[in-house]
Structure 1
């Protein structure tokens, strides 16, 4: 226990003294930021006779030291969680997990059952290989009405030609953060080269505009089909056997979408993965993306995937994505009422 306690004490002092090479934090500064006494800080850092901080204090440490922006002149002031960038949020989670594991070891509790899951997030590939996000290109009839999409325009903005920009923005940063050694690329389906197809593939958007999603659905023979019947009274839907699952609209406003998450081997290279995030509408796609990126839900959803599908190579989940006042609510896959189809059954 002494060694484990010493490891935690050493790490806490290391954060204070070495986290920012250009600024050495003094104990009174840290004590003020955490709203505790200086002797208490000393007791936590005392390797000869270490005291173990409560979880809430370690959460405060992680929030403080995940961002250089916590330094404000001579003061140390924690940021609000909502102020954190994607990279800062990832570092906060990593620091917290490390400190909680050290705390658990110091208390002889073994590995920490903390906020981070025991299994890797599906967006963590761990092999350093290239990841290619394949997006949908907006139809030419839409682009004709938009500014800055003409490549000859001096103000040309390439991303204006992409659909599902919310999902791309949300996902790109997370994949980069989880896989710092990997090259992360994004393309529309028509821009892909053979080397792209044999990378870790991530498909955003449905079969109506994303040609590659259409091709992959046919190759994989998935039990779930997407029917883009936009002109009929019933509208578009996903089907599973004789069951149909449609979005819910009220007075033309989207209230609930239906979205698919699929993970399996890449059909063009079995040593890489294929992931599909696909809603009937863009907000459904964003919801299923956020299920594994949102800090409030990604860990429990990751754990649910592991418990439900184990080490299965291929699995799929069709779920509801609620929309409240125009805002996407991240689906909690542990709730039975949000899960529509799970495969394998």
Structure 2
């Protein structure tokens, strides 16, 4: 068997298995699959052949969508359902299958380009499965908002002079920090994950993969980065004004404001819906590392932005949406609704049009 065969066999075998055995009582012909995917029968045959070609990643998206649900076949006709029409179970099946096919494709490309022999490599960090997975061993820094000193003075055990001092009490967005830190450690087991506030940053922290947690009012690093990168979205946090807390989207000469939804005033104020902001782009201080921002008008919006990519029920679905929507983008962002029901944050499902308030991307030039 040739090196070229070795590189393609695992993926080609899996594609054949999906078509012929995924539904044992209903095998799919190459003609039926070609009709659904909008490609020719010879191309389907080539992808399934040991000596054939490796399908592009966009085609694996449609493969995963097709085999995620039996509704892809109806009355002898085949089609690919959009993610927005899938049930939660179907969307989860799509994400799981896409992750598998993406890994097999990466292995095929890696083995082909390196000329290495042998079967599939051991499990490893899969960069396209999870936006919060990074390169093996590459350092990550979380820069978290810090509670103002006058507010920390009101928190028990927040003073370092106390015997029961708890250092984490100086950080805001603790729910988000706890959730995010645990996920980053699990997803990047060989990477150092450092926690910093804007007040105790070191120079080397800024050239790692950066994850900024919290808004422009409490997080100076977020405010500074948003001034350096060109975005069509800005956060306005003038809490002294009745309508001074919102995200503003600029499109040409038009602007649109997205406000959190609240009920009541003063001490009886209740948050019913927050606005979450998620951004991914290149770290301006190190082009080989990334910049990620999870933000919201309130702490629950920050938590919603984090949970969109850590909640086990939604993270694969949301990651799949990001990959399908922004795979070729240099940077991208999403504003999304975050509902609060019974004082509990409901994880946003980015595949739903009603959940997304605005999205944008910057194309990669020269590719």
Task: Report if aligned partners of 2:127, 2:134 keep a CA contact under 8 Å in 1.
Answer: no
Q: Which residue of 2 aligns with 1:324?
A: 341
Q: Which residue of 1 aligns with 2:117?
A: none
Displacement of 1:126 in angstroms is: 2.5
What does 1:1-345 align with in structure 2 at a 5 Å threshold?
Answer: 119-241=128-250, 242-251=255-264, 252-344=269-361
Take 2:198 and 2:335, find their aligned partners in 1: how far apart are those partners? 23
Displacement of 1:153 in angstroms is: 1.6
Displacement of 1:271 in angstroms is: 0.7
Displacement of 1:152 in angstroms is: 2.1
Displacement of 1:273 in angstroms is: 0.5
TM-score scaled by length of structure 1: 0.66
Take 1:219 and 1:187, find their aligned partners in 2: how far apart are those partners? 20
* Cα displacement string for residues 251-293 of structure 1 (whole angstroms, at most 9, x for unaligned residues): 2110000011000011111111100000000000000100011
* Cα displacement string for residues 278-309 of structure 1 (whole angstroms, at most 9, x for unaligned residues): 00000000001000110110011011001111
Task: Report if aligned partners of 2:139, 2:191 keep a CA contact under 8 Å in 1.
Answer: yes
Displacement of 1:118 in angstroms is: 10
Take 1:173 and 1:144, find their aligned partners in 2: how far apart are those partners? 28
Take 2:289 and 2:130, find their aligned partners in 1: how far apart are those partners? 16
Take 2:154 and 2:127, find their aligned partners in 1: how far apart are those partners? 48
Take 1:335 and 1:271, find their aligned partners in 2: how far apart are those partners? 32
Which blocks of at least 5 consecutive residues in structure 1 are unaligned?
A: 6-92, 106-116
Aligned length: 239
Task: Report if aligned partners of 1:318, 1:341 keep a CA contact under 8 Å in 2.
Answer: yes
Q: Cα gap change, 1:101/1:270 in structure 2, threshold over 3 Å: closer, same or farther?
A: closer
Displacement of 1:144 in angstroms is: 1.3
Task: Report if aligned partners of 1:322, 1:328 keep a CA contact under 8 Å in 2.
Answer: yes
SS in structure 2 opposite 1:313? Answer: strand
Root-mean-square deviation (Å): 2.4
Displacement of 1:182 in angstroms is: 0.1
Take 1:277 and 1:101, find their aligned partners in 2: how far apart are those partners? 27
Take 2:157 and 2:274, find their aligned partners in 1: how far apart are those partners? 30
Task: Report if aligned partners of 1:118, 1:303 keep a CA contact under 8 Å in 2.
Answer: no
Take 1:244 and 1:222, find their aligned partners in 2: how far apart are those partners? 15
SS in structure 1 opposite 2:325? Answer: helix
Displacement of 1:238 in angstroms is: 0.3
Displacement of 1:147 in angstroms is: 1.6
Take 1:265 and 1:137, find their aligned partners in 2: how far apart are those partners? 24
Displacement of 1:248 in angstroms is: 0.2
Take 1:344 and 1:271, find their aligned partners in 2: how far apart are those partners? 19
* Cα displacement string for residues 12-44 of structure 1 (whole angstroms, at most 9, x for unaligned residues): xxxxxxxxxxxxxxxxxxxxxxxxxxxxxxxxx
Displacement of 1:101 in angstroms is: 6.4
Task: Report if aligned partners of 2:338, 2:347 keep a CA contact under 8 Å in 1.
Answer: yes
* Cα displacement string for residues 40-65 of structure 1 (whole angstroms, at most 9, x for unaligned residues): xxxxxxxxxxxxxxxxxxxxxxxxxx
TM-score scaled by length of structure 2: 0.62
